[in-house]
Amino acid sequence: MDFTVRPARIEDAAAMAKMHMQSWRETYRGLMPDRVLDDPGLVAARERFWVSILTDDRFRANRTALAERDRAVIGVAMAGPADDGAEPDGVAHLYVLYVVAAEHGSGAGAALLNAVLPPEQPATLWVADPNPRAQAFYRKHGFVADGTEQVDDGVREIRMVRRAQ
C-alpha cells in the first residue's frame, strides 16, 4: 500500500473535484447521458460541492477523506448522518466513495470506506445499477441490497444496507 488516506481539507477541494469527475466519467459512461458527463461546468460544480462539504456547519458531522498517491488524489469518500431523517440514530449514510479506475483493486476503496465509516457501524448507501464491481465491493464489506430502488440524475440506483455487527 503506497497510498495515503487522510481527512480532506479545504485546500484539497479542486483536486478532489477533478478526481471525482474523472471517476464519474469512468464509472457512469453509458449509464448517465454524455451531455451530463461532458458538461464543461461539471468540475467547477463539484469543486463548489466539496468546498461546501468542507466548510459549511451543516456538514460538520460528516467524515470526509481522500486517498492520494504521489500527492495526486486517487479517491474520495464521505459519510455522515442520513439527511432524510429516515434512519435511526447511529445509522450512517455513505454519500460518496469514488476511486479512479487505475486504482481499482489497490485497497484504496476499502481504506477510504473504513476511514469514513467504521466497519462495525450500521449504514446505508445508494449504488448505481448496473454496477457489478461496486456492488460486489459493498457486499464484501457487509452491505446487502434491501430491494429499494430510485432513479437519480437519470441513473438507476439500489439501496444497500449494513446492519450492526
The CATH number covering residue 24 comes to 3.40.630.30
Could you tell me if 65 and 112 are in contact, meaning their C-beta atoms sit under 8 angstroms apart? yes
pLDDT value at position 87? 64
Q: What confidence score (pLDDT) does residue 142 get?
A: 95
Total number of domains constituting the chain: 1
Query: 61: helix, coil or strand?
Result: coil
Given the DSSP bridges, would you call strands 72-81 and 63-69 parallel, antiparallel or unpaired? antiparallel
The closest of 115, 3, 20 to 67, measured between CA atoms, is 3
Note down the domain range covering 34. 4-162
Tell me the β-bridge partners of 159. Answer: 126
Tell me the residue ranges of DSSP E strands in the chain. Answer: 4-7, 63-69, 72-81, 92-99, 123-128, 144-152, 155-162
Mean pLDDT, the chain cut into blocks of 10 residues (165 residues total): 94 98 92 88 96 96 97 97 71 96 96 95 94 96 96 89 84
Q: Where are the strands (E) in 12-120, listed by range?
A: 63-69, 72-81, 92-99
Of 62, 87, 81, 64, residue with least CA distance to 161: 87
Rounded Cα distance, 1 and 160, in Å: 28
